[in-house]
Chain A
Amino acid sequence: MSVRSILMLLFGGVVAAALVVIIGSLAFVKQQITVLFPASVALASDDALRMLLIEQAVGLVIASVVLLGAMFYVLGKTVLTPLKKLTTALEQYETTGERIPPEEFEESPKEFQDLIASFDEFTERIEAAHRNDLETSRIKSDFISTAAHQLRTPLTGIRWALEALQKGTMNDDQRVLVNSAVDKSRDLVAIVGTLLDISAIESGKYKYNFQATDMHALLVEVANDFSYLASNSKVSLFYAQEEAPLPRARVDRDRIKWVLNNLVENAIRYTPPDGTVRLSAEAGRERVTIRVRDTGIGIPDKDRANIFERFYRAENATAMQNAGNGLGLYIARTIAKDHGGDLNFAPNEGGRGTTFILSVPVAR
């Protein structure tokens, strides 16, 4: 029910009531006159009286209609028009973000002016808070960009210089030293990279681009990408493809590929020569589940609870001269969860090694 329709109903009702009252009272008066002045007034003046009464009735009706009309018009203007103005102004703010200048409502009743003034103040405060947030975000983002560049530039120089040295002639002792330095410089680069990723994740700037993705193709790609590392490490890496086709998954292809890369690389590194790393995928109703199964050294019981924590490195990890800075699994799990999926692992039953289980949602 709108204010307008209520007013119209009211108007109609009052007019009708007025008409009833007027006609009723006129009839009553006429009856009284006939009773009080029977014969004399009867014939000739009956018509005249009737005419007079009718004229007066009509006059009264017109007068009341006009009066009531005026009343309702004024009411409408005072309430309806500013209300409509307010609604339009709010809609305009919603679509274009333009605020309503309070001067627009100078003609409107005080209540509306107060309302507008409060709204104005309210939006000012909200916009100021928003600007603040954007500024903070921009500063953080600038810091990340600057830090990235500042850290990576000397790192690049060190790495490339060492790699160039590696290609030259030197004695065995020197070679060992140079190789160690190259390894460590690459480790540093990886750490800087993951630190920046964490920074981005935690400041909420990690934007995902979810698309319906063919996971089968992705797994084939990952298996191919790591075939070199696998054969170098004498580990057999393969993707055991299912007969049944996989439904597409709703994932950010680059990020999920990063997760898979992490899992496969870890699997290869922690599996001794002649071991295997097996990739597989299966589809459920809601989820596509990918398994990375290795025959490696496994994760000790006491590390199981912590392996996804930041900077945690299982004890047996430090024993190996391997890449790994304790951040990869933390980020990987965060990404999986951000997708609405999960990342878990379980020791292989009856055999050596671990299976990491990544689940992602099926694309609708």
Chain B
Amino acid sequence: MTDTRFILVAEDDPVLKNLLGHTFAGKYQTLYASNGQEALDLFEANKPAAVLLDLMMPGVDGFAVIEGIRKRTDEYKGVPIIVVSNLGQQKDIDRAKTLGANEYLVKAEVSVEEIVAKIESVLQGTTPAV
């Protein structure tokens, strides 16, 4: 990796945030948001290379964050968004994808390594952005 990329992680559970941080350390520069509004603000301020997004967060939820990013009119509207959520019903997946999420992972069903692999694949552009 030439430069360390910024990853924005929106996750409200502190334990899970910690465990993710454990693995991301040294791989990526990570920004953490605990709710949707913080996520949007951090996105605006830092223009991350990818977003790891939980859906159920207090206040502004993950769906609204996807909407907020995809509604942009600048070059950052297409930043890859990987939804990492424990909601797994088809309707949630459909909704996230329709709003513009690139990938949808069910947290409990993947290991942190698989999440890293997914981040790598979207950063390398092997997964086309919506």
Chain A residues near B (Cβ < 8 Å): 141, 144-145, 148-149, 152-153, 155-157, 159-161, 163-164, 189-190, 192-193, 196, 200, 207
- Once A153-B13, A160-B19, A164-B23 are accepted as A-B contacts, the answer to whether A200 and B89 lie under 8 Å apart by CB is yes
Closest B residue by C-beta to A207: B90
Q: Is the interface of B mostly helix, strand, loop or mixed?
A: helix
Residues of A within 8 A of B86 (CB): 148-149, 152-153, 156
Closest A residue by C-beta to B19: A160
**A160 to B111, Cβ gap below 8 A?**
yes
Q: Beyond A160-B20, A161-B19: 13 further Cβ-contacts under 8 Å?
A: A141-B89, A145-B87, A145-B89, A145-B92, A148-B88, A148-B89, A152-B88, A152-B106, A157-B13, A163-B112, A190-B109, A193-B106, A207-B90
How many A-B contacts if CB must be within 8 Å? 60
**A192 to B19, Cβ gap below 8 A?**
no
Interface residues of B in 1-36 (CB under 8 A from A): 13, 15-16, 19-20, 22-23
Taking the closest CB of chain B, its distance from the CB of A258, in whole angstroms, is: 11
Closest A residue by C-beta to B86: A152
Taking the closest CB of chain B, its distance from the CB of A209, in whole angstroms, is: 9
Q: Is the interface of A mostly helix, strand, loop or mixed?
A: helix
Residues of B within 8 A of A193 (CB): 88, 106, 108-109
**A163 to B108, Cβ gap below 8 A?**
no
Residues of B within 8 A of A153 (CB): 13, 16, 86, 107-108
Residues of A within 8 A of B16 (CB): 153, 156-157, 160
Most interface-central of B20, B23, B111 (chain A CB within 10 A): B111
**A156 to B107, Cβ gap below 8 A?**
yes
B130 at interface by CB-CB < 8 Å: no
